[in-house]
Amino acid sequence: MNAFLGAINQLVIASAACIWYFSPRDPKNENDKLVDGAVRKSISRAFCYHLGTLALGSFLLAFV
């Protein structure tokens, strides 16, 4: 269970960083980016698309 939660944590952080990095810049202020709900999108992406992969990887880690 510890490896599974750690894998979810790593995926959410990596996905939120990718969403922030590839988001467009604000045309009014070049130093700001237009990002809305990066963590929420990352959590939904992890549970909708990658939950099985994370579960299998953590199972293999626990099994070995």
pLDDT along the chain (64 residues), means of 10: 96 96 86 88 96 96 93
Domain count along the chain? 1
Domain that holds residue 15: 2-63
Task: Read off the pTM.
Answer: 0.86
**pLDDT at residue 34, as a whole number:** 85
What is the b/e burial string over 25-63, where b = at least 16 CB atoms within 10 angstroms of the residue's CB? eeeeeeeeeebeebeeebbeebeeebeeebeeebeeeee
